[in-house]
Amino acid sequence: PSVEIVDTTQPIANLRESIDFCIELQIKRDRGYHTELKKNSQDGSYPIDAVSMPVRNVNYSIFSCGNGNEKHEILFLEIWTNGSLTPKEALYEASRNLIDLFLPFLHAEEERASFEENKNRFTPPLLTFQKRFTNLKKNKKGIPLNCIFIDQLELPSRTYNCLKRANIHTLLDLLSKTEEDLMRIDSFRMEDGKLIWDTLEKHLPMDLPKNKFLL
């Protein structure tokens, strides 16, 4: 399959002479934001961070129209993109993400009832993650836990947003919480807890206790 360059303003390489220039790309599908670790470039490869900012600029203005009690306001949006998506597509995606962000507020009562139902389903005692890992200061890669952000755990957007709203930004923040603390987060469910635990078991070299969250 071919690759189309949609943003021709981005520099790719500087050539000192006229030659045939060939680039081989290795692209993978993933979730969340990743920063590529620096690798030995002796093989001629260069890691590139997964950074994409398709929306270049946005302007908006509001105009009033009508007379008397029939006044209305019209919102004008000006959207510039880099060509990888249209302004209409960018507006649609931003609107959908905004709706997803506020949907939990519509189900606040339902989620509160869900917490009351689930809070007795934990296996006592409710120990904090941090107590379990008292001697764990760094993982095997030597990265401090407060430098590992939850963005790197590749969590679904719903679970990720729940943690961010609770000011949980790093792995250290997460390991300092009890299961009860997590369940008190708005819209957080038992399934989210089990998913987080499974993710930690998958990505971190820890001897984790089994069945931390029961479904």
What does the DSSP 8-state code read for residue 37? P
Select the more confidently predicted residue: 50 or 80.
80
Whether 77 has a pLDDT exceeding 90, the answer reads yes
Query: Domains plus CATH for the chain?
Result: 55-105 (no CATH), 120-203 (1.10.150.20)
Average pLDDT over residues 135-148: 54
Whether 21 has a pLDDT exceeding 80, the answer reads yes
Average pLDDT over residues 30-58: 69
Report the amino acid identity of residue 175: L
How far is the C-alpha of 171 from the C-alpha of 175, rounded, in Å? 6
**Cβ(149)–Cβ(119) below 8 Å:** no
ω into residue 205 within 30 of 0, thus cis? Answer: no
Q: What is the pLDDT of residue 87?
A: 93
> Percentage of the chain with pLDDT > 70?
67
Average pLDDT over residues 132-137: 42
pLDDT digits (tens, 9 = 90+) for 166-213: 888 888 888 888 777 888 888 888 888 888 877 777 766 554 444 444
Q: Packing angle between helix 87-106 and helix 108-118, nearest 10 degrees? A: 50
* Angle, CA of 81, 6 and 96, to the nearest 5°: 40
Select the more confidently predicted residue: 137 or 146.
146
Q: What is the pLDDT of residue 115?
A: 56
What does the DSSP 8-state code read for residue 176? T
pLDDT digits (tens, 9 = 90+) for 91-126: 998 888 888 888 777 766 655 655 555 555 544 333
Tell how far CA 203 is from the center of its chain. Answer: 16
Whether 131 has a pLDDT exceeding 60, the answer reads no
**Arithmetic mean of pLDDT over the chain:** 73
Report the amino acid identity of residue 156: P
Residue with tokens 């679970």: 159
Residue among 54, 55, 75, 52 nearest 65 (CA): 75
How far is the C-alpha of 37 from the C-alpha of 47, rounded, in Å? 7
Provide CB contacts within 8 A for 29, sequence distance 6+: none
pTM: 0.37
Average pLDDT over residues 1-14: 75
